[in-house]
Amino acid sequence: MKSQQWLTERTFHHSNFWNIKWLVEEKERQGLSISLCLPTLNEEKTIGQEIVILKAELADRYPLLDEIAVVDSGSTDRTCEIAASFGADVYIASEHLTEQGNYPGKGENLWKALYLLNGDVIVYVDTDIKNIHPRFVYGLVGPLIQDPEVHYVKAFYDRPLASSSGLRPTGGGRVTEILIRPLFSLFFPELAAILQPLSGEYAGRRSILEQISFPVGYGVETGMLIDIYERLGLYAFAQTDLDRRIHRNQETIALGRMAFGVLRTFMSRLKREQLVQFQQELPVTMRQYEVHDREYRQLESEIEEIERPPMIGVEAYRQKFHPEEQPA
């Protein structure tokens, strides 16, 4: 079975890449540059620690990272001030590529990072991690440096779903196990072997990231996986076990909104690939309910899942990264 073989050959543990000195030497031999993007929105409690630890080990001690940048969605706390004080480059997403407009959402930050950062490899790491460690970076770039056939690497880590006897639970969270893995199993069965498709830590080569669209909201991780899979196939992926990730957990009602957004992104891919047909446009309103003292109230959230086009089609990006292709 192809997915089982892939699981064996393309699943790593971060300890496989403990020799950061070798990673740096090999990166330099290949002429690669690596950028770290930290997408933020009001993360003053954790952003300083992330930058201090990652910069000290992976930029100052070992020059694995060529730049560390925060791309912010408009924080109202001290996130940007703290990030700058600890040596990160800080960008406010709405202030860049202004001719393209601006949308709220993590995916917007990830998309604009392709224009703002210079690396051949972009590493994305969420900024709410309480147990940050350099493995969250070197564990992801390791497979890319080691194997030129790998184009995109996902993280997975302990996130137990229930008690088990003798088996380590490798569940990808509630939304993954209830929604994403069943959908992958139905429509893209090989992608079901990606253990945590919604993890917020991943690294990719610019050469593929610039070719895919970016949903600005909840669907960005799912959209990336399907779009890269459609272009390059399963063996373009790898995944790395980062052991454990401690972060804040979301309430179930928030996960419902996430699932709605992810599902809209998924359905758009099914329609594009002509796997399903819809008689009308899918609605953008998510309906949820709450009860208090026997009073029932409907909550409505508008979740449209706007998508940014492939960055390679943006004129300003082509001028910056592909000037040789511009007309004389």
In this prediction the pTM is 0.92
**What per-residue confidence (pLDDT) applies to 121?**
98
Rounded to the nearest 10 degrees, the angle between the axes of helix 252-272 and helix 220-232 is: 30
Assess if residue 243 is contained within a domain: yes
From CA 157, how far away is CA 53, in angstroms rounded? 19
Least confident segment among 87-96, 160-169, 228-237: 160-169
**What per-residue confidence (pLDDT) applies to 174?**
84
Q: CATH code at 266?
A: 3.90.550.10
- For 84-140, write each residue's pLDDT tens digit: 999 999 999 999 999 999 999 999 999 999 999 999 999 999 999 989 999 999 999
Contact indicator for 36, 118 with CB cutoff of 8 Å = no
Contact indicator for 262, 172 with CB cutoff of 8 Å = no
Q: Distances in Å between the alpha carbon of 252 and those of 155, 174, 249?
A: 23, 9, 9
Confidence of residue 172 (pLDDT cuts 50, 70, 90): low
How many independent structural domains does the chain possess? 1
Assess if residue 102 is contained within a domain: yes
**What per-residue confidence (pLDDT) applies to 204?**
98
Assess if residue 232 is contained within a domain: yes
**What per-residue confidence (pLDDT) applies to 161?**
42
Please give the single-letter amino acid code of residue 48.
G
Quick check: helix, strand or coil at residue 58?
A: helix
Confidence of residue 251 (pLDDT cuts 50, 70, 90): confident
Assess if residue 290 is contained within a domain: yes
**What per-residue confidence (pLDDT) applies to 168?**
47
Show the domain range for 197.
Answer: 2-323
Assess if residue 139 is contained within a domain: yes
- Residue 180 pairs in a beta bridge with none
Confidence of residue 327 (pLDDT cuts 50, 70, 90): low
Is the model's pLDDT at 167 over the cut of 90? no
Assess if residue 328 is contained within a domain: no
Is the model's pLDDT at 270 over the cut of 60? yes
- For 40-89, write each residue's pLDDT tens digit: 999 999 999 999 999 999 999 999 999 999 999 999 999 999 999 999 99
**What per-residue confidence (pLDDT) applies to 244?**
83
Assess if residue 279 is contained within a domain: yes
Q: Distances in Å between the alpha carbon of 58 and those of 35, 38, 83, 118, 221?
A: 11, 14, 16, 17, 25
What percent of the chain lies above the pLDDT cut of 70?
A: 94
Assess if residue 299 is contained within a domain: yes
Count how many residues are written for the chain: 328
Contact indicator for 79, 44 with CB cutoff of 8 Å = yes
Nearest to 11 by CA among 243, 244, 245, 240: 240
